[in-house]
Structure 1
Amino acid sequence: MTNGRSEQSGNLRYGWTTGACAVASVAAAYTALLTGDFPDPVEITLPKGHRPSFALGRERLDPDRATAGVVKDAGDDPDVTHGALVSATVSAAEPGGGVVFRAGPGVGTITKPGLPLPVGEPAINPVPRQLITEAVTEVAERHGGSGDVVVEISVDDGEELARHTWNPRLGIRGGLSILGTTGVVVPYSCSAWIDSIRRGVDVARAEGLSHVAGCTGSTSERVVTELYGLPDEALLDMGDFAGAVLKYLRRHPLPRLTVAGGIGKLSKLADGHLDLHSKRSQVNYALLARIVAEGGGGEDLAERVRGANTALDALHLCREEGVELGDLVAARARDVAEETLRGAQVSVDVVVIDRAGTIVGRTD
C-alpha cells in the first residue's frame, strides 16, 4: 500500500484517519531532524497490522526543528477533513521528558471535562498519542536519538473545518481533534458518529446537566432548544443512531432524555428500529394503520394510512379525521426507548415534528 491508499470495502476505498496522518508526519519529521533527510514516502505501522506509506505534502528542515505534512485521504468516506494537510513539527525536548504534545494552528484544545483528555490538553486523542510515541521510539532507536521531543500537530484550515464537527459543542476550541483508534477510515462507517454521541453524553455528565436531547437533525435541535431552553452541551446529534444514545445512557444514565425528530424517523423508532437510516429501516405503514385503529381512528382511516405514500401523508390523513398520529407515534416511540433503557433511571419524553419544524406530536 502506497501514498496512503489501502484496500477496498466492497466498491468503496478505505482511507486514513487524522491520527494516522499525524503519526506519518511525526515519523518523517523526526527522521529528518536526526538525519537531515525526509523519508518520502514514509511508512508507519498501525494497530491492526496495516503498514501504509504516505507521500509528503510538506517538508521544512531548520537547525532545531523539522516539519513534515501529509494530505489526508479519507478514501470514499464523506469526511470533512478529506484533503486536509496534517503536519507535525518536531523539536528536541528536555532530557527525560519523553514526548510532549502541543496543539499547533488548526488543532483544538480541551476546554471542558468529560473527554478522554484533561482540560487544557491538545485534542490529540489517546490512541494517536500512543502511536506517535511508538513512532518516535522506533525512529530514535534506528537513528540514535533520545526520543525526548516536542511534537506540535497542526492542520491547515483546521479551525474552519472544526466548525462542521461536534468539537465546538464538546468544548474543543481552536480546531480539529486528531482522531482514530485503528488509523483506518471505513467508508460510511458509523463508528465515529457513535463515538461522538458517547462523548456528548460524557461532556453533559461532566457539566452536571440533568437533561439531554437526542435529535435527528438541526430542525429538531432548534425545536427542543426553544422548547426547553437547553444549552448546546445538552444537544446530542443523534442522527439515525437512536440505539447508540439509548444504549449509552443505559450504562451511563442521566435523569432526563428528550428524543426529537421527524414523523418518519420516529415512526421507525416506534416500530422497534434503533437504526433509523433509510437503507436499514423503512416506515411500517401497517404498524401506523394498526396504531391509528387502536387510537380510535376507524377502519376506513386505518386502510388509507396503510396505503399512504409517506409518514407525513399519513399524518395529514389522520389530522383531517381529528386523530393525532404524531401523539400516537410519540407514545409508542417512548415505549421502545424505555424498553431499550432496560430500567435505567432515565425519564424519556418524545417530540415529533414535521419538515417545517412544527410540533405534531408529544408525549406527556
Structure 2
Amino acid sequence: MSKQLREGYTTGSSATAAAMAAIRVLFNGSISQEIEIPLPVKGTLNIPVERVLKDGNQVRGVVIKDGGDDPDATHGHKIHALVKIENADSLRIEVDGGKGIGRVTLPGLPVPVGEAAINPVPRKQIIAGALKELSEIAPDFNGRLKIIIEVPQGEAIAKETMNSRLGILGGISILGTQGIVRPYSHASWKASIAQSLNVARAAGLDEIVFTTGRRSEQLYLAHFPETPQISMVQAADFFKFSMQQAKLKGMRTVRWAIFIGKLVKHAMGFPYTHAKDWAIDFNLLADWCAELGMAEDLIKKNRAAITARHVYEMVPEDSRTAFIRMLVRKAHGNARAFSGNSEVAVEYFLFDFDGQMVYYPDHQKKSSSS
C-alpha cells in the first residue's frame, strides 16, 4: 500500500497565522501555541505558532512554513509578521512586505509594479485573519493596524525560484490560492506557466521558449544567449496546457527546447508527458520507423525498447535526420491542435544527451558561440 502524502500549508497561510498570533498578544497579551486561521476559499486550518515577541507597541509573530510532502523552497523556513498600531479615525488594516519579501518590478503580475510580492488571495487572507482576531478580542478597536510580512532568509530562498525572471526582486513571493499545499499538485506549476506568459506579454514579447526543465533551458540559452530571460518558461510536462495558454496570451511564436523522450510524447499527442501517467507506445514508434524504411530486424528491436533514447540510439546515422523530422512534424501538428489550430507558429529544438543541438528549424541560425 502506498504511503499517503501529507498536506501542508502555503506561505499565505503561514503569514496569516503569524499575524493573528501577533495581534492576539498585542491586544490581550495571550500567547497561543496554535492559531485557527481562515482559508481563502472555505473552512479553517490550525497552524502551530513558533514564537511571539513583543517590543513596545509592536509584536512579531513567527510561524515555520510546512509544505507537507510537497517539495517547496520555503519549506521549513520562518515566516514573520510584524504588527503595530498607528493612529487613524477608523479601522484600517494595511499589509506590506519587509525583509525577504520581493518587490514587483515588471508588469503582468497580479501585483502592481512597486508593491510587495504578496499576491491578492493571501493578502485578503491575512486581512480576513486580522479581522477575525479583532472581532473576538478587540471589537471596538478603531485605528490603523499595520502588518509587515518578513522572511529573514527570503532573498536566499528566492534564488531557488523563478522570481527574478518574473521581475520579483529582493526576496520571495507570498502565495497560495487555497491556503493548503496538496502534494505534487499540478495547479501551482500551471499557475507559474500562465503567470510567466503574462509577464512576457506585458513586456511586449510575442515569442516564447518552452523548456522541459533547467537543463534544456540552459542548453537553449547556450546556443541563443541573446534570448530574453523572461521569454524562457519551464513548461515541464504540461504540453497541452502550455499551448493553450500561448494561444490565450496572444503569442505569435512558440519554441520548444526538448530531449528525445519528450519529443516522442509530443509526437504521440500526449497532453501531459510525465512517465507515470503517459507511457510511450513502442509498437507505434516502431511502426513509424518502418514507414521510414528501416530494416525489419531494427523494427523488431524498437518494439522491445524501454526508452525513447534506446530507440534513438538504434536508428542508423543516415536515418537520424528523417527520424527526427518525422517526430517534429507529428509534434508540430499536435501542438497546433492543442492551441486550437491557431496561427501560433511552433518550432522545435532537440538536444541529445551530450548537450548537442541535433535539430533546429532550417531558418534558425545558431549563435556563433555554440
Query: TM-score when scaled to structure 1?
Result: 0.92
Indicate which of 290, 293, 304 corresponds to 1:307: 304
Match of 1:107 in 2: 101
Find the aligned partners of 1:313 and 1:286 in 2 and give their Cα distance.
14
C-alpha separation in 2, matches of 1:84 and 1:169? 22
- Displacement of 1:97: 7.1
Residue identity matched to 2:291: E
Contact 1:240–1:275 (CA under 8 A) maintained in structure 2: yes
Specify the SS of the correspondent of 2:83: strand
- Residue 80, structure 1, aligned to residue 80, structure 2: no
1:97-176 alignment, distance < 5 Å? 98-144=92-138, 145-146=141-142, 148-176=144-172
Q: Which residue of 1 aligns with 2:365?
A: none
Are 2:9 and 2:181, in contact at CA under 8 Å, matched by a contact in 1? yes
* Mapped partners of 1:213, 1:290: distance in 2: 31
Q: Which deviates further from its counterpart, 49-58 or 110-119?
A: 49-58
Q: How many Å separate the matches in 1 of 2:51 and 2:181?
A: 22
Q: CA RMSD in A?
A: 1.9
Shift of 1:178: 0.6
Q: Is 2:337 aligned against 1:339? A: yes
Alignment check: 8 A CA contact 1:214 1:242 kept: no
1:349 matched to 2:316? The reply is no
CA distance in 1, matches of 2:92, 2:299: 69
Partner SS state of residue 25, structure 1: helix
**Residue-by-residue CA offset, 1:206-247 (whole Å, 9 max, x unaligned):** 111121111011221123223443111010011111222112
Alignment of 1:162-241 (within 5 A): 162-228=158-224, 229-241=226-238
Q: Which amino acid aligns with 1:302?
A: I
1:259-296 CA-to-partner distances (Å, cap 9, x unmatched) read 12110112111111121111111222222222223334
- Residue 290 of structure 2 aligns with an amino acid whose one-letter code is A
Aligned-partner residue type, residue 269 of structure 1: H
Instruction: Report sequence identity in percent.
Output: 35
- Can you give the 5+ residue segments of structure 2 that lack an aligned partner in the other structure? 363-370
- Give the Cα–Cα distance (whole angstroms) in 2 for the partners of residues 328 and 307 of structure 1: 21
Task: Indicate conservation of the 8 Å contact 2:40/2:121, yes or no.
Answer: no
**Paired residue type of 1:336:** N
Counterpart of 2:277, as a letter, is R
Task: Kindly state the Cα deviation for residue 48 of structure 1 after the two structures are TM-superposed.
Answer: 4.3
Q: Report matched runs for 1:268-287 at 5 Å.
A: 268-287=265-284
The runs of 4+ residues in structure 1 deviating greater than 6 Å are none
Tell me whether 163-172 or 242-251 shows the greater mean CA deviation.
242-251
CA contact (8 A) 1:110 1:118 kept: yes
- State the partner residue of 1:65: 58
Segment drifting more, 205-214 vs 9-18: 9-18
CA distance in 2, matches of 1:225, 1:147: 52
Q: Is 2:259 the partner of 1:262?
A: yes
Q: Which residue number in structure 2 is paired with residue 322 of structure 1?
A: 319
Are the aligned partners of 1:36 and 1:61 in contact in 2 as well (CA < 8 Å)? no
* Contact residue 327 and residue 362 of structure 1 kept, 8 A: no
Contact 1:115-1:202 within 8 A present in 2 as well: yes
Query: What number of residue pairs does the alignment pair up?
Result: 356
Q: Which residue, 70, 78, 92 being the options, matches 2:85?
A: 92
Deviations 1:173-198 (A, max 9, x none): 11111110110100111111111111
Q: Which runs of 5+ in 1 are unaligned?
A: 1-8
CA distance in 1 between counterparts of 2:357 and 2:291 reads 22
Q: Distance in 2 between matches of 1:10 and 1:312?
A: 31
* Kept in 2: contact 1:330–1:362 (CA 8 A): no
Q: Given residue 99 of structure 2, which amino acid in structure 1 is its aligned partner?
A: P
Change (3 A) 1:147 1:238: farther
Cα gap change, 1:147 to 1:259, in 2 (>3 Å): farther
- Indicate how the Cα distance of structure 1 residues 305 and 359 shifts in structure 2: closer, same or farther if over 3 A, else same: farther
Q: What is the alpha-carbon distance in structure 1 between the residues aligned to residue 256 and residue 86 of structure 2?
A: 49
Tell whether the 8 Å contact from 2:38 to 2:128 is kept in structure 1 after alignment: no
Question: After superposition, what is the alpha-carbon deviation per residue over 1:147-195, rounded to whole angstroms, capped at 9, x for unaligned?
Answer: 6211111113111111111111111111111110110100111111111
